[in-house]
Amino acid sequence: MTNWIRSYKSTISPDGLGPLQLAWLGDAVWEMHQRLRFCSSPMRSKDLHNAVVSEVNATSQANAIARIEPYLTDLEKDFLRRGRNKAGKGPKNVDAATYAIATGFETIVGWLFLKNPKRLAYLFDLLDQPIT
């Protein structure tokens, strides 16, 4: 399900982008990945929407980073920290710490999408595996 990421060739360098710009991009990439995961499921549109929303909310993103953090390089962990430190309070329905972790996740996703799509695809493949 990650071939679309592996084949991406960026013409934009992430080096000049700030953590929140990378997080904004990462949010879109993560949602696209989730939509592609669910699009072949025989569900009604509303159910597809709800399935994707349950995967792209801050709590799910914080859970995702917890699963892949042991696999992150020091540089990726640095981007996690940068994104986490730039996050605001977030929405009222999620605590600030969870929102900050989710912003860090999105920052890594955005940075890797532009810098190393194959690495991002590898991490997404890890997340797509069942939890044991």
Active site residue ranges: 27
Per the CB < 8 A criterion, the answer to whether 99 and 91 are in contact is: yes
CA Rg value for the chain: 14
Q: Alpha carbon of 16 to those of 20, 21, 26, 39, 95: distances in Å?
A: 12, 10, 15, 34, 30
Whole-number Å distance between alpha carbons of 103 and 12: 21
Measured in residues, the chain has a length of 132
Per the CB < 8 A criterion, the answer to whether 73 and 38 are in contact is: no
Q: Which two tokens stand for residue 41?
A: 């499921």
